[in-house]
Structure 1
Amino acid sequence: MEENNGSNYIKFIASFPAKIMQFRQGSTSAIKRLAGTAFTPLFRQERSPLSNVKSRFQFKLASALILFAMLISTLVATSDHLRMKNQAIANTEKQIELYEKSVRNALDTLDKAYYLFGENLAKRMKEISYELIVKYEADPRLDEWDFQRLKEAYRFDVYMINEENKIVYSSYLPDIGLDFNDCCGKLAKVLDERRAGGGFYHDGIDTEQYSGKLKKYSYLATGDKKYIVQLGYSLENSPIFKEFDFSRTVDGLIQGNPSINEIQVLNLASRRLGSSERGEILQGDRKQAFDAAFATGTTTEYKGTWNGEPAVYRYVRHESQYDEGVTKVKVLEIVYNEKELDRVLDVNTRTFLSQLLGILVVAAGLSLLIAGWVAKPMYLAFHDSLTGLKNRASFEDDIRAALAKPAGTLGLLMIDLDNFKVVNDRLGHEAGDRLLRGVAREIRAAVGSEAYAYRLGGDEFVALLPSATLREAEATASRVLSSVRRTISAEVESFGQAITVSIGIALSPEHGADPRTLCRNADTALYKSKELGKNTYCVYQPDGGR
């Protein structure tokens, strides 16, 4: 019996190494079998968190780049469009100024011609005026004068203007009764001055009040100041006017440019020179624009209508270099439409919109391409490549920024996996990676959307809880423990070691006002929870208690 017992003992000792190997292999198989059951919910996640980069971070980056590119493109295109628009407006303005210059030159040429070659006319008007003064002094009974015979004798129209600046006698019947105070206030004041001065005055080119025909007028007061003798001479039939008629220039400009509706030369009474129809005085806004240009010399514009269509009325003061009379200052009225300008602006606008659309499409395409190139490197600079959580660099930036705020609290959870090395050693690194991804997912869900989760490296995690109280921090830690516990079943053990998490809690400013102190104290609390048996949390206590 003793021999059999000794023999059996020796056999048992001899077979012990083989049984150890069998036990170890069985344990590994068991863990693997449990990994396929207890870890099934955890390991079912096949896609890496990085696969969501394109749908989240890359989308945000691409959106930002597209918006930035669209903004820059829109600004550049709009700037170019405005430049072209302003250029078109400037070109129109320059063209109108050229028309002004052409009419000015034509008027100056005519004035100069009369100044150089019309001295005999002025001299003859002066002689006749004094002859009529002598006649008046000899016979002041004007109602007995034959003004038609005087016109035939002198070849000038003769007018007698009384003290009220009203034409009471004339060889030109339509002007009898014309009151300068009513029609031509500025001229009435000039007549008063000339009556008081008593000298001979002659003007340049003027217009007949009712017909609008061009005439030259002279003025000489009687000795008793009761009347002013006015002579009128038609210029339109004179050789000088026929040679230098400014109306031909005006007609050429109107016929040669569809943008020009009308060009008129107005005297101080705002009557048109050279019209074959009864002259009309400007009214309303046109009259105000005329008066402003006449008085100040500033070019003024008024937007109105011409034959029922939109038009711009432009008033430009013109001062003759040769005429020294009351007709020295005239005003050019240029009526023009903006149809050509509108057409150019419309073409530019359509071109701008088509170019902008093309630019935006190209910018969007380039933005998407650039985002595809740089999204992953930029993402990995601040995120953990395995779990998709923010990494240490991001944590250091965030905790500094959070603690830099002047008020409020900050909760810090230092989280560490217990016995994680067993998973790597027995199941392999692939299984360990799947476990880390699952734990990361549970931590992210447990801390909520108002807090931030990070993976510092290995099996170390951390969570920042802005504005958290101690009670809220403990509640979050409890959620992390229970969530991880449900996912990683406590029954999964290897040599009696469960895969759990331990958590250390520290709050700012109570447990530290700077990142280094706060992290150190949270880490101290973490190790305290491990000393207490793991799978729990501890709040930092300066005296070392829980």
Structure 2
Amino acid sequence: MNYIRVKLTVVLLVFSLLLSLVIAVVDYDKLRETVLQSQATEIHFAEDKIIHNLSTIDKVYNLFDVEMAEKMKTISMELLVKYEREPDFGSWDFDVLKEEYDMDIFILDETNTVIYSSFEEDIGLDFKACCSGFSKLLDQRRKEGEFTHDGLDLQSKTGEFKKFSYMPTPDQHYLIELAVLLEDKEIYKQFNFMDTIESLLQEYDIIEAIDVYNSGGNLLGVKTKGFKMNMINERFLDVFEQVRKKGETEEVFVSENGEKLTYRFIPYQADEMRGYSTKRVVAIAYNNDIVAGMLSEYKNQFFRQLIVILIGVIALSFIIARIVSKPIHLAFHDSLTGLSNRAAFEDERQKRVHRNKKHALMMIDLDDFKSINDQLGHVEGDKILKVFASTIKDIISPGHLAARVGGDEFLVLLDTDETENIEKNAKLLIKKFNNRMDEYSFDKGMRTSISIGIASSLEKEPFDELYTRADQALYKSKMNGKNQYSISE
């Protein structure tokens, strides 16, 4: 029964462990997928929110622009009249003009350099040197000779949001540029996308930074001093240009200050293209370490739970094995002797006969056993049966199959057809059982012996025929005086 218990414990343990492991792994994968999906949802929500905010700003400013653009056009025409009267800009008082029109005024020469301005910080700014793409656009506007205006744009030196307009002089030598500060306007305060960026940074821990760049790579919304502009980092220039030209989102993985970040560069273009500023690129940096930390914690939790599950499964397997092993053992073993019963013998012998080409069958019967039961009672008879079963266990090696198939009838299937070995086992059985019966008869005054019939298998012989020959050999032993063995020829 110990063997069955161990075997059952191992089977239950392996099955339970595999089942628990599969369930735990599936649960962990679901949890991991949930975390990643949650991260992806946050990322897409943040992207949609900032893009939607930019789109809203552009649409609102389009409505606001109508009145402002007309005003800037009127002022530009007045300045052209002034230029016809006073072509020497050096004689103009730009501070007075700024106060009169409530706008900054810039004069750009043919090289697109600011030579005069009411905004002194920009005097000397060379667009051809700093912003070649924008400089080409200015050349085009100068040639077209018409009034043009842009949407929300960036003051290159300060990072302030302004609206710019451009009017070339009739001789196309100069461009008169006007700029209106938007940050002090109520419409800007109501639709400031920098406030949206700040709220997103506070709301989502995984977002490290959100930057918005214009087509020239200038960072919007960051105040600067002097002539140095906030430009996109050089290591992102290639991907920035690729996103700007192809209009497709790209990702870059970097390490900053010991943290692993993912930069997503998202193209944005206003519904209505006006100037150089309505085509932008949004860069959002996500902290991969935060998600990795969450997954690591979940993994540690998974292993802790798995250990608890394994301990529970092992304990449960031992308990179930102890409970179930006894009924299973009784189902396949004789309850009195502990040997295999007929059902177990039939099942096992089919496997062995199929597996081993050579085998032999010993059919054993206790001599005069009915008389013992009649005179001494079944209790004593059962004791003798136990003694003989113990004798079989001592003589027959575990590799062979022994079974009690009737009241005093026993079968032994040997995995050999060598006569010498077979006879050796038969002689030992008879001798040792007689010795034990000598001790028993001393107490009870009665004894019994065993008769054995042996048959070795023939090639392709059905088991039924082997059984019949062993039975005939047993009958021969009985007829020859009992307490002996006979071998079927």
1:419 shift after superposition: 1.3
44, 49, 55: which is aligned to 1:108? Answer: 55
Q: RMSD of aligned C-alpha atoms? A: 4.7
Secondary structure in 2 matching 1:279: coil
1:275 shift after superposition: 1.8
329, 335, 350: which is aligned to 1:379? Answer: 329
157, 179, 186: which is aligned to 1:233? Answer: 179
Match of 2:212 in 1: 265
1:520 shift after superposition: 3.4
1:419 aligns with 2:419: no
Match of 1:37 in 2: none
Secondary structure in 2 matching 1:318: strand
Q: Deviations over 1:346-381 (max 9, x none)?
A: 664565455545544554454444334322212222
Taking the aligned partners of 2:128 and 2:434, their CA distance within structure 1 comes to: 116
Judge conservation of contact 2:128–2:135 (CA < 8 Å) in 1.
no
Match of 1:456 in 2: 405
Match of 2:43 in 1: 96
Match of 2:11 in 1: 64
1:87 shift after superposition: 2.5
Taking the aligned partners of 1:71 and 1:241, their CA distance within structure 2 comes to: 62
> Structure 2 vs 1, CA of residues 98 and 184 (structure 1 numbering), >3 Å: closer, same or farther?
farther
Match of 2:426 in 1: 481
Q: Name structure 1 gaps, 5 residues minimum.
A: 1-52, 540-545
Judge conservation of contact 2:105–2:176 (CA < 8 Å) in 1.
no
Q: Deviations over 1:279-322 (max 9, x none)?
A: 232444x5566566556666554443344333332333334334
Judge conservation of contact 1:217–1:230 (CA < 8 Å) in 2.
no
Taking the aligned partners of 1:62 and 1:401, their CA distance within structure 2 comes to: 23
Taking the aligned partners of 1:395 and 1:148, their CA distance within structure 2 comes to: 120
Judge conservation of contact 2:362–2:470 (CA < 8 Å) in 1.
yes
Match of 2:268 in 1: 318
1:437 shift after superposition: 4.0
Alignment of 1:264-343 (within 5 A): 264-277=211-224, 278-284=229-235, 286=236, 290=240, 294=244, 299-337=249-287, 341=291
1:80 aligns with 2:31: no
Taking the aligned partners of 2:339 and 2:145, their CA distance within structure 1 comes to: 104
> Structure 2 vs 1, CA of residues 369 and 497 (structure 1 numbering), >3 Å: closer, same or farther?
closer
165, 170, 195: which is aligned to 1:248? Answer: 195
Taking the aligned partners of 1:356 and 1:484, their CA distance within structure 2 comes to: 53
Judge conservation of contact 1:161–1:169 (CA < 8 Å) in 2.
no
Judge conservation of contact 1:99–1:253 (CA < 8 Å) in 2.
yes
Letter of the 2:345 counterpart: F
Secondary structure in 2 matching 1:489: helix
Judge conservation of contact 2:127–2:135 (CA < 8 Å) in 1.
no
1:484 shift after superposition: 1.7
1:258 shift after superposition: 4.2
Tell me which moved more, 389-398 or 233-242.
233-242
> Structure 2 vs 1, CA of residues 522 and 246 (structure 1 numbering), >3 Å: closer, same or farther?
same
Judge conservation of contact 1:215–1:236 (CA < 8 Å) in 2.
yes
Match of 1:204 in 2: 151
Letter of the 2:343 counterpart: A
> Structure 2 vs 1, CA of residues 491 and 384 (structure 1 numbering), >3 Å: closer, same or farther?
closer
1:391 aligns with 2:338: no
Tell me which moved more, 480-489 or 122-131.
122-131
Taking the aligned partners of 1:91 and 1:417, their CA distance within structure 2 comes to: 77
Taking the aligned partners of 2:276 and 2:368, their CA distance within structure 1 comes to: 109
Taking the aligned partners of 2:3 and 2:399, their CA distance within structure 1 comes to: 18
Taking the aligned partners of 2:161 and 2:124, their CA distance within structure 1 comes to: 16
Tell me which moved more, 254-263 or 232-241.
232-241
1:453 shift after superposition: 3.1
1:499 shift after superposition: 1.9
Q: Name structure 2 gaps, 5 residues minimum.
A: 98-102, 117-121
Letter of the 2:232 counterpart: I
Alignment of 1:35-184 (within 5 A): 53=1, 55-122=2-69, 155-159=104-108, 167=112, 172-173=122-123, 175-176=125-126, 178-179=128-129
1:176 shift after superposition: 1.8
Taking the aligned partners of 1:136 and 1:229, their CA distance within structure 2 comes to: 11
Match of 2:357 in 1: 409
Secondary structure in 2 matching 1:84: helix
1:117 shift after superposition: 0.8
Match of 2:100 in 1: none
Taking the aligned partners of 1:398 and 1:436, their CA distance within structure 2 comes to: 22
Judge conservation of contact 1:206–1:217 (CA < 8 Å) in 2.
yes
Judge conservation of contact 2:72–2:165 (CA < 8 Å) in 1.
yes
Taking the aligned partners of 1:72 and 1:458, their CA distance within structure 2 comes to: 44
Judge conservation of contact 2:148–2:166 (CA < 8 Å) in 1.
yes
TM-score normalised by length of structure 1: 0.67
Judge conservation of contact 1:77–1:356 (CA < 8 Å) in 2.
yes
Judge conservation of contact 1:442–1:483 (CA < 8 Å) in 2.
no
Taking the aligned partners of 1:528 and 1:126, their CA distance within structure 2 comes to: 132
1:409 shift after superposition: 0.9
Alignment coverage as a number of residue pairs: 467
> Structure 2 vs 1, CA of residues 155 and 461 (structure 1 numbering), >3 Å: closer, same or farther?
same
> Structure 2 vs 1, CA of residues 383 and 155 (structure 1 numbering), >3 Å: closer, same or farther?
same
> Structure 2 vs 1, CA of residues 413 and 279 (structure 1 numbering), >3 Å: closer, same or farther?
same
1:429 shift after superposition: 4.2
Q: Deviations over 1:20-71 (max 9, x none)?
A: xxxxxxxxxxxxxxxxxxxxxxxxxxxxxxxxx2x33223323433443343
Taking the aligned partners of 1:417 and 1:281, their CA distance within structure 2 comes to: 100
Judge conservation of contact 1:215–1:232 (CA < 8 Å) in 2.
no
Tell me which moved more, 476-485 or 286-295.
286-295
Judge conservation of contact 1:446–1:476 (CA < 8 Å) in 2.
no
Judge conservation of contact 1:446–1:479 (CA < 8 Å) in 2.
no
Secondary structure in 2 matching 1:457: coil
TM-score normalised by length of structure 2: 0.74
Letter of the 2:461 counterpart: H
1:216 shift after superposition: 4.7
Match of 1:20 in 2: none
Letter of the 2:350 counterpart: R
Q: Deviations over 1:87-133 (max 9, x none)?
A: 23333332333333332333223212220011344456678889999
1:247 shift after superposition: 1.0
